[in-house]
Amino acid sequence: MNTKNIFKYLKRDALAGTVAGVMAVPLTVGICLMSDYPVMTGLYTVIFAGIISFITYLFKPGNYTGMPGVAAGLAPALALGVMSFGIENMPFVIVLTSIFQMIVWKFKLEKYILRLVPHYLVEGLLAGVGLKIALKFVPFLFELQSGELHDFNDWIHIDWLNFNRDKVVLLSILSFIMFVILYKHYKKKMPALPYFIIMVTSILMTFFIDLPKISIESVPFKLALPLPHFSGMNISELSITLFKMIGFAMMLGTIDVIEQVMSNVAIEKMDPLKRNCNTNNSLLAIWIANFCGTFFGGMTNLDGLAKSTTNTVAGAMTKLSNLFTSLFLFLVVLFPIVITTLPEYSLGIIMVYSGWKMIANISHVKAEGRYALILAGVCGLLVFKLGIFEGLLIVLVAHAIIQYIFMKRLNKSNQEIWNQFTSAFTEQTAFKLEDEDLLVDPQVPIYNKLINNINTKNLKGVLDLYHENAVLIPSFSSRIRRTNKEIKDYYATLFKMNDLLLLKDEIFLNKTEAQRIDSGTYDISWENNVARAHFKLNFLIVIEKGKIIAHQSSYYHNNNISISRWVDEKEKGSFIM
Domains of the chain with bracketed CATH: 10-357 (no CATH), 363-425 (no CATH), 446-555 (3.10.450.50)
Q: What is the pLDDT of residues 254-266, one digit of tens each?
A: 888 888 887 887 7
User: What pLDDT does 147 receive?
Assistant: 66
Which amino acid, 248? F
Give the SS3 label for residue 453. Answer: helix
Name the range with the highest mean pLDDT among 141-155, 332-346, 349-363.
332-346
Residue 516: phi and psi, rounded to 5, are -115, 140
Which amino acid, 126? L
Confidence of residue 440 (pLDDT cuts 50, 70, 90): very low
Dihedral of the alpha carbons of 349, 354, 355, 359, in degrees to the nearest 10: 130
User: What pLDDT does 558 receive?
Assistant: 62
Are residues 73 and 259 in contact, defined by beta-carbon separation less than 8 angstroms? yes
Strand 302-303, strand 68-69: pairing: antiparallel
What residues pair up with 516 in beta bridges, in sequence order? 511, 543
Of 511, 457, 462, 508, residue with least CA distance to 487? 462
Rg (CA), the chain: 26
Confidence of residue 1 (pLDDT cuts 50, 70, 90): low
Confidence of residue 577 (pLDDT cuts 50, 70, 90): very low
User: What pLDDT does 68 receive?
Assistant: 95
- Residue bearing the bigger pLDDT, 87 or 393: 87
Terminal Cα distance for the chain, rounded: 69
Residues 6+ apart with CB under 8 A from 343: 202, 203, 205, 206, 211, 212, 213, 214
User: What pLDDT does 563 receive?
Assistant: 53
What residues pair up with 213 in beta bridges, in sequence order? 343
Q: Is the pLDDT of residue 98 over 80?
A: yes
Q: Is the pLDDT of residue 437 over 50?
A: no
- Count of residues in the chain: 577
Q: What is the mean pLDDT of residues 485-504?
A: 89
Mean confidence (pLDDT) of the chain? 84
What angle do helix axes 119-137 and 388-409 make, rounded to 10 degrees? 150
Are residues 219 and 41 in contact, defined by beta-carbon separation less than 8 angstroms? yes
- Residue bearing the bigger pLDDT, 384 or 191: 384
Q: What is the mean pLDDT of residues 108-113?
A: 82
- Residue bearing the bigger pLDDT, 65 or 117: 65
User: What pLDDT does 530 receive?
Assistant: 63
Q: What is the mean pLDDT of residues 317-330?
A: 96
- Residue bearing the bigger pLDDT, 275 or 191: 275
Q: What is the pLDDT of residues 162-188, one digit of tens each?
A: 778 888 899 999 999 999 999 888 877
Of 419, 135, 81, residue with least CA distance to 255? 81
* CA gap 179, 22 in Å, rounded: 15
* CA gap 135, 143 in Å, rounded: 14
Q: What is the mean pLDDT of residues 153-159?
A: 64
User: What pLDDT does 520 receive?
Assistant: 86
User: What pLDDT does 41 receive?
Assistant: 96
Are residues 348 and 123 in contact, defined by beta-carbon separation less than 8 angstroms? no
Q: Is the pLDDT of residue 246 over 80?
A: yes
Q: Is the pLDDT of residue 386 over 80?
A: yes
Statement: the pTM of the whole predicted model exceeds 0.75: no
What angle do helix axes 344-360 and 163-186 make, rounded to 10 degrees? 50
Confidence of residue 152 (pLDDT cuts 50, 70, 90): low
